[in-house]
Structure 1
């Protein structure tokens, strides 16, 4: 493998030492979709940008809220109220001005997933969505289009970073989100033997009647507590799996 760190952009010298110039070119040519830019997806998108992934589609309908400040890369006091997609795009461009970004500031309805998959020849799809219906629809559409896909399962209610694993969806345990995903995807006819990031730590349930942010419309509801590092570690693990997969045939 050709390794010439002195012939590359200084911002990628350390990456070139590890993956070589051929690896850098592979990452620069890669097209990756990150669906969901919260605590998990934001960290994944940033890690992919720093690794040199050259084409990213960033999808999220939400705006930054004060309750995001404890864990989300996009969340600063200066970004509260702004769209997560725009904030993430600014961050990525500040890391890698050459990155080509396709921004989708909208909610992904299940029926829209097949069209999204048909729009670009994605080399990898990262599912960082919370909604089961939307997650399952995106994964199913990726599978049917022949696009490699990886999902994040539940990071909420957990504290222990040593309990994070990568496994096939049908090999997970102690994760309620993974259990519901298996049921929904099986009902839709999707494959359950695709990779996911999950924790086998028993989740701590949220306190009842504690709405997030202090001013959430609708009835009080139970929510999952979250800590600063767990969603980011999920996101970095997703990104690491994707980068390794993209470079698999180039590595010794």
Structure 2
């Protein structure tokens, strides 16, 4: 390692954001809830953008079906906790990064423990399931946490359709539709929830929760787990994660 790390490693960032911007990033704390495909790209992007502290939240283990789209999924990491595999890789990128590793499933009963005092400068919601995602959004709103929520990336293949949007203005995304309906009934207004999503129609019925069997729907909405393997390619959730990371960096730099 070069003796002037991180000056050399992040020199191009300083040219882009300035010395003050780099200091803001180094002092920032971002939480990433969910270390699947979207979360893995978001986490790595933030580490490579000199964010000084990350809280990583995921209960799952790395499996073979993750290899096609998750950065932390390698032959050498199969069977490892995702938070552990992520931490090892992120420390290889920036040995000075501070990592809080929480191998726990986020849901209503664990929310207080995982969010704690909420000393995050930004939070990235990369959860799969509707119920825990809905609870996390509610918590972020109640705590006045700056955040972005990732909608469904599976069953799509057009990264040029991905965009940042207000949740209430989304269309064509089954997951966003579910959340939009529930939160609108609770009084959600425009400008409160920003999401990364794609209006591209899903390629297969299995990506739409409305097409699930009763048992599948119950598991999806209550625990966020899907029994069906979802069709996906890395360039979709990868772009979702990178856009989410960009939103975090933008918020940090603006203060």
Spell out structure 1 runs of 4+ moving beyond 2 A.
Answer: 114-120, 183-193, 206-209, 220-224
Q: CA deviation at 1:131?
A: 1.2
TM-score by length of 1: 0.87
Is 1:243 the counterpart of 2:242? The answer is no
Q: Is the 8 A contact 2:32 2:54 kept in 1?
A: yes
* Residue 140 of structure 2: aligned partner: 142
| Aligned residue pair count | 234
Mean Cα displacement is larger for which, 157-166 or 180-189? 180-189
* Residue 153 of structure 1: aligned partner: 151
Describe the shift of the 1:53–1:204 C-alpha distance in structure 2 as closer, same or farther (beyond 3 A).
same
Mean Cα displacement is larger for which, 94-103 or 183-192? 183-192
**Structure 1 residue matching 2:247: 3-state secondary structure:** helix
Q: CA deviation at 1:244?
A: 1.2
Q: Give the alignment partner of residue 81 of structure 1, picking from 73, 79, 84.
A: 79
Q: Is the 8 A contact 1:43 1:236 kept in 2?
A: yes
After superposition, residues 65-214 of structure 1 pair within 5 angstroms as 65-187=63-185, 193-205=192-204
Q: Is the 8 A contact 2:122 2:251 kept in 1?
A: no
* Residue 61 of structure 1: aligned partner: 59
* Residue 43 of structure 1: aligned partner: 41
Q: Matched residues in 1 for 2:152 and 2:128: separation?
A: 8
Q: Matched residues in 2 for 1:96 and 1:10: separation?
A: 12
Structure 2 residues without counterparts, runs of 5 or longer: 213-225
Q: CA deviation at 1:62?
A: 0.4
Q: CA deviation at 1:91?
A: 0.9
TM-score by length of 2: 0.86
Mean Cα displacement is larger for which, 53-62 or 110-119? 110-119
* Residue 226 of structure 1: aligned partner: 232
Q: Matched residues in 2 for 1:128 and 1:40: separation?
A: 6
Describe the shift of the 1:179–1:96 C-alpha distance in structure 2 as closer, same or farther (beyond 3 A).
same
Is 1:30 the counterpart of 2:3? The answer is no
Q: Matched residues in 2 for 1:191 and 1:150: separation?
A: 15
Describe the shift of the 1:126–1:113 C-alpha distance in structure 2 as closer, same or farther (beyond 3 A).
same
Q: Is the 8 A contact 2:118 2:145 kept in 1?
A: no
Q: Matched residues in 1 for 2:161 and 2:129: separation?
A: 23
Q: Matched residues in 1 for 2:231 and 2:176: separation?
A: 18
Describe the shift of the 1:25–1:161 C-alpha distance in structure 2 as closer, same or farther (beyond 3 A).
same
Q: Matched residues in 2 for 1:73 and 1:9: separation?
A: 25
